[in-house]
């Protein structure tokens, strides 16, 4: 094959129940000029047996590249794929999800038409059928927030900062490989989940050539009991947001005023609201990092935060003024 138009990176770990559906949805794309990089953790489990079918077995496809080695988690696995990918554009697909057949054809043609570095799309929230409920495939919940974002033009986060305040959904995008390499954009490799906020920031803040294609192709499965969304860990989430704030301070401090109030809503949902809702048992280190995270957020940013209730804004301001009482405010 000549240079692939899209390199598809699939990090894989304990998803044997869904993996074949994921891979089949990628290999069935109407855009044939793709390479599919399957990266597992080297375990000889059911996932390895499924990968073998596409690498060397009866479903062998020459577009499949399989890597079987310990990578140290999701971020490190994706980084390995980014290092070896040869495609003009990059896609990251989570191995318990699946995509529509025309996803890469339409996104690639749109990217080429606009010479975009990043193509962003919405997605479906997917729930498997169970004994007690029917299959659900519903639009992502933030579509109304981007209703004023134009199509068929490129833009920067300065122009449309709302994209820093929605679910990272890094898998509902494609990224120009030359752009990713030029700025050495990679995932953080810290242990644990939620590494996508860091990558979202890096991929969106270095370019003025983002574009929005208002068509969903991606089915984001929310019924995988092993997924990070189903196994929320407040300590790891707080740490990821701390890493995000330090990244912004070190590299994008001049851009932060443009998106701070939008970003705060996303951070609120993922940390402060979750602490209260789950009556989280916070460690001393958790409280220290939460206080540090709050120190990066100005009072004006809190007062102007989009899509946060007034009562919650009041709580934020109290925490901002009295960070030493943070633990008391959150624990039972």
pLDDT attached to residue 227: 59
Domain limits of the chain? 6-230, 234-330
Beta bridge partners of 89: 6, 176
Question: Whole-model pTM?
Answer: 0.93
- CATH number for the segment(s) 6-230: 3.90.550.10
Give me the pLDDT at residue 149, please. Answer: 98
Specify the DSSP element, H or E, that contains 288. helix 284-295
pLDDT of residue 253: 96
pLDDT given for residue 328 in this prediction? 53
CA 279 from centre of chain: 26
pLDDT recorded at residue 323: 63
Report, as ranges of residue numbers, the positions in the chain whose pLDDT lies below 70: 1, 226-231, 278, 323-332
Give 294-329 as a DSSP string: HHTS-HHHHHT-TT--HHHHHHHHHHHH-GGGHHHH
Q: Can you give the pLDDT at residue 326?
A: 56
Q: How far is CA 70 from CA 9, 185, 190, 201, 329, in A?
A: 16, 21, 14, 26, 41
From the list 163, 167, 164, 165, the residue with the least C-alpha distance to 149 is 163
What are the pLDDT digits (tens) for 231-274? Answer: 678 889 999 999 999 999 999 999 999 999 999 988 988 888 77
When computed from its CA atoms, the radius of gyration of the chain, rounded to whole angstroms, is 20
């Amino acid at each position: 094959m000549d240079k692939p138009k899209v390199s598809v990176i699939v990090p894989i770990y304990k998803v044997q129940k869904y993996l074949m559906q994921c891979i089949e949805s990628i290999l069935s794309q109407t855009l044939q000029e793709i390479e599919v990089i399957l990266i597992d953790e080297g375990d000889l489990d059911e996932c390895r047996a499924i990968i073998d079918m596409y690498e060397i077995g009866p479903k062998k496809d020459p577009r499949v590249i399989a890597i079987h080695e310990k990578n140290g988690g999701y971020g490190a696995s994706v980084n390995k794929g980014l290092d070896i990918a040869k495609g003009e554009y990059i896609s990251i697909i989570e191995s318990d999800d699946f995509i529509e057949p025309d996803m890469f054809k339409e996104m690639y043609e749109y990217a080429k038409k606009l010479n975009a570095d990043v193509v962003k799309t919405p997605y479906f929230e997917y729930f498997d059928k169970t004994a007690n409920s029917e299959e659900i495939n519903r639009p992502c919940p933030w579509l109304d927030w981007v209703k004023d974002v134009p199509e068929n033009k490129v833009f920067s986060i300065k122009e449309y900062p709302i994209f820093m305040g929605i679910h990272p959904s890094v898998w509902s995008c494609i990224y120009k490989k030359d752009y990713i390499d030029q700025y050495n954009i990679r995932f953080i490799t810290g242990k644990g989940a939620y590494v996508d906020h860091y990558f979202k920031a890096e991929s969106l803040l270095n370019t003025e050539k983002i574009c929005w294609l208002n068509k969903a192709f991606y089915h984001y499965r929310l019924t995988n009991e092993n997924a990070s969304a189903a196994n929320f860990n407040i300590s790891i989430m707080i740490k990821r947001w701390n890493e995000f704030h330090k990244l912004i301070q070190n590299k994008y401090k001049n851009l932060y005023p443009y998106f701070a109030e939008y970003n705060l809503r996303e951070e609120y949902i993922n940390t402060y609201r979750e602490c209260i809702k789950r009556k989280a048992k916070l460690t001393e280190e958790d409280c220290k990092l939460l206080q540090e995270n709050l120190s990066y957020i100005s009072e004006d940013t809190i007062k102007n935060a989009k899509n946060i209730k007034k009562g919650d804004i009041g709580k934020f301001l109290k925490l901002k003024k009295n960070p030493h009482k943070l633990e008391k405010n959150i624990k039972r």
